[in-house]
A = this chain, B = another copy of it.
Amino acid sequence: MFKVLKTDGKARRGHFECAHGPVQTPVFMNVGTQGAIKGAVSAHDLKQIGCQVELSNTYHLHLRPTDTAVRQLGGLHKFMDWDGPILTDSGGFQVFSLSGLRKITEEGVTFASHIDGRRIFMGPEQSMQIQSNLGSDIAMAFDECVENPAPYEYVKASCERTVRWLERCKREHDRLNALPDTVNPGQMLFGINQGGTYPDLRVWSMIETAKIECDGYAIGGLAVGEPTQTMYDIIDAVEPHMPKDKPRYLMGVGTPSNIIEAVARGVDFFDCVMPARNARHGKLFTWQGTINIKNEKYKLDERPISPVCQCPACRSFSRAYIRHLLSAGEMLALRLCVLHNLYFYNELMAHIRRAIEENRYDQFRAQYSQRLGEPAV
């Protein structure tokens, strides 16, 4: 289902076939946590801004409207009217980052809902059942994501358990996919590498994870507190042990620079809430660097956010207008800024793919890796 079409150094240009269509990699997935993208952006808008894969959150949808409701309504694709590929995370990350009280056992995690404090249990089987009900194209294995840094012994025990959980995920996933009334019988499963900032645990975790046949493999638990160079070093350590014929997904990462650097290290899939969050604060990406649209100097600026951008905001509106909307507290500002930043990320990935195809990824990396995150001059 995954084919590497071309390599340039360790960078890979791939084609991944999902139940809801193909994905050209490297790819950045656009995050719609609760079945909608923050900033009043719908699935239809995603089509306009070059999104290939929509990512929704198992934890949020399980709590509200509940995955059984989504299933009764025909699955997440129908619910949000998106006919392209969907990846759902496992809920693991949110269980550990959003909920208050939680208790981890071999069986799974008991946690308190961030909405009403209700106690909920989630283990590998429950996570698979929820994601099966949602009917996503790619389900993520249920894992524990530990903060960095964490004590070695804790991380060791945790990533060993995550491997055992993957075995249970795989078994349950296979069972659910084979049921006659399953929402998406073509749903795939990605395993997740953990191990904190300890290269030996990371390598052990990757070797063990790769022994379990999955449709793709993710590196989780990065960009959660460690220095950027540590993240790159861990990718470098793990990558040789990742199956070459399966896609690799670096979870929750990152800045344009992070993505460019990770692609150079052999990563294919990305997701991050940062471009949308930055957008809501007026921090916008351009090929000359970032601009803060709230700045007084844009008050009379008739130019679009980026003169070369073809996003719905840049095609029609001036910096002055968007700055005004943001100052005036108009929701339309957030929508336009989010559309712009997501379009920029999707376009960044298209440029990355072309650079790999044309064997000039090093040159692309040298030109843009630093520049894109820095303020435009």
Contacts and interface: CB of A to CB of B under 8 A. Distances in A.
Contacts of A327: 64-65
Contacts of A154: none
A73 B320 contact: yes
Contacts of A38: 330-331
Identical subunits present: 2
B69 A332 contact: no
A40 B300 contact: no
B302 A40 contact: no
Interface stretch (A1-9, A29-37, A248-256, A344-352): A29-37
A80 interface: yes
Contacts of A332: 36-37, 40-42
Interface in A158-177: none
**Most chain B CB inside 10 Å of its own CB: which residue of A34, A69, A334:** A34
B64 A331 contact: no
A65 B316 contact: no
A288 interface: no
B318 A79 contact: yes
A34 B332 CA distance: 11
A330 B36 contact: yes
A34 B325 contact: yes
Given A321-B79, A335-B40, A69 B35 contact: no
B37 A316 contact: no
Nearest to A280: B331
A81 B39 contact: no
Contacts of A321: 35, 73, 79-81
A329 to B, nearest CB: 8
A330 B34 contact: yes
B36 A302 contact: no
A333 to B, nearest CB: 8
Interface of A: 34-42, 44, 60, 64-65, 69, 72-74, 79-81, 299-300, 302, 312, 316-318, 320-321, 323-325, 327-328, 330-336
11 contacts: A35-B325, A38-B331, A39-B40, A40-B334, A42-B317, A64-B328, A65-B324, A69-B324, A73-B300, A79-B324, A81-B316
